[in-house]
Structure 1
Amino acid sequence: MSDRVRIPDDILDCIPTDEILDKLAPQIGKMVFQLGTELGLSIADLENIDKCSPNLTAQNKEVLFTWRKDRSVKPTIRVITQALVNIRKGVRCLEEVVKNIDAKTLRAVEIVTDKIRENADRIIQDIQISQILDHMMTHLVISADDRRRIEHYPRQDDQNKALLDIVIKRREPAYSVFVDGLLNYGYEDIANDLKCDTQETSPSTTLVSAENEGFSVWNVPLYKVRLQKNYVKVITDIQHESIVDHLISKEVISVDDGEKIESGKTPQEKNRNLMDMLLRKNEQGFNEFLKALRKDSMYAHLAEQIEKTEVTSTDMATLYKCLK
């Protein structure tokens, strides 16, 4: 390999993350098929990518992600670096992409991804995820939109696949919260297999900090974080009827919305439907929800708890990652 490569060996020996491939793809330009050939893709794969991908960046991205899926040879950054040298593209673009990334973070991503892949069949076939999604909502690692997209699939195995895709993409803290959810809701064997040694190696932050991606406290309203941090408490503790009536009377939700809430098969499902709507409303909707709780002495303490829920910068950055 060229002596001009200025990427540390411990980085070169790691598997590139989604972020690395996403940032590299636009910089490859018209060399997409040369790169694909160097990375070992077949002519059939390259022709299919050419036919199905709308532009050069999409083609390059598909080449890189297709190559990374093949684990017959470990798909490391070293392999991409050599391929770029071989097609005379140069490696400066890759050096720029990885210059602020540490090897410990990359190795932690590998552990998380490999552990999920090793246990994917068991997770997809064996688990019911409603309560795990409740747990993940409360810990802010999935959003209301994420949950809706997951539950859009009618089959449980397809819902489980969709959730795993999110966990793999977001990694920490989504991974740890997912494992805790499995542990809490009766899937100890799978949880223990997933736990492994990631407690010591998992990164506590994303590869690129939220601040560097335009994060601002204004991107994530405080009331929304407070409401979602009490997700499990709301769906398990309240009787929704009088609350829904109040929200309809204040025009926070419509009569049709009320019927959608009632379509839930269990009290918890109805409360999940209510929370899904509230998390999409503005602060006025949030305030009216608190007023509805306070009208019933049984829920006055819950209203107080929600209103005074502590919100940290980590909370806001975690939820922001889901809302991007």
Structure 2
Amino acid sequence: MKNITHSLINRGLAKVLPEKPASGQEEADRVQAPAPVLVSGQPETPVVLASPHSGRFYPELFVQESRQPLNILRSGEDSYVDALAAQAHAAGPMLVHATFPRVFCDVNRAAWDLDPRMFSTPVPAFVRATHRGLAGLGSVPRVVADNRQIYRSRMPFMEAALRVRDYWMPYHAALAGTLRQTQERHGLCLLLDLHSMPDAPEAGNPDFVLGDVYGASCAHVLVQTAEDALQDLGFRTSRNTPYAGGYITQHYGRPRDGVHALQIEMRRSLYMDEQTRQKHAGFSRLSDALAQVAERLVSTLRTFETL
């Protein structure tokens, strides 16, 4: 399924991406930019850690063209989630994380989930906006915090297509490859898709929200293992409310095929000051909690040949 999906995306890209010279600032951004996705470790365990939204490289041209200041653009960032995962990663699971921010390209949306109204040029027929895309929260977002418009003017569709090619595709190619490698090694695998969230009073302000798309993306025993581990450590948890799992969880979670996906949302105030984005003393406790959850999940996965 993943190969077919990526083949269709590549066909769409081929239709809309004639070669064009880069501007001076675009070239400078490209030189300065880190690799769009970093993968570290070997498949020593059946667990894979991923952080799609903690990237901190904001291309200068993007910042210049935004009507919002950088601190507002960063409001959607899952700050330090890749660092929070470092302790769990050191214990064996592989780690995949994006270096670019979600406000620039959101890999937790389908590639062509885009709001047609944000473009100054014709939009190809293969663009399929969901309600989130139409709300400006597609793979190339139109809005950020409190529905604030990101761009001063509409952009050419080619710009979105370039981001799909240069950021969305590499991330998903790396993630799919890591999951495949892990499953080949262990016979099954579990993706922990890691995110951070603001306080969620509508759900009772849980510390963690575990999203398994209402049971569709992950075996119940794995969700229960994660929840028990967190509650044993004194954290409040919620399942699927208010976050049931985005594109990544929905797309990769195939329990019948031996690939499980669990989205984990962590309350930001547990580990950082949301105004200054500075880590505080709770950071080490949360990092240790993630490591313990991953360890418990590895033990559960190794107990069962099939789930």
Asked if TM exceeds 0.5, the reply is no
TM range (shorter): under 0.3
Q: TM-score, normalised by structure 2?
A: 0.26
Of structures 1 and 2, the one with the larger relative CO (CA 8 A, separation 6+) is 2
Q: TM-score, normalised by structure 1?
A: 0.25
Give 1 or 2: higher helix fraction.
1
Give 1 or 2: higher strand fraction.
2
- Which structure would you say has the larger Rg? 1
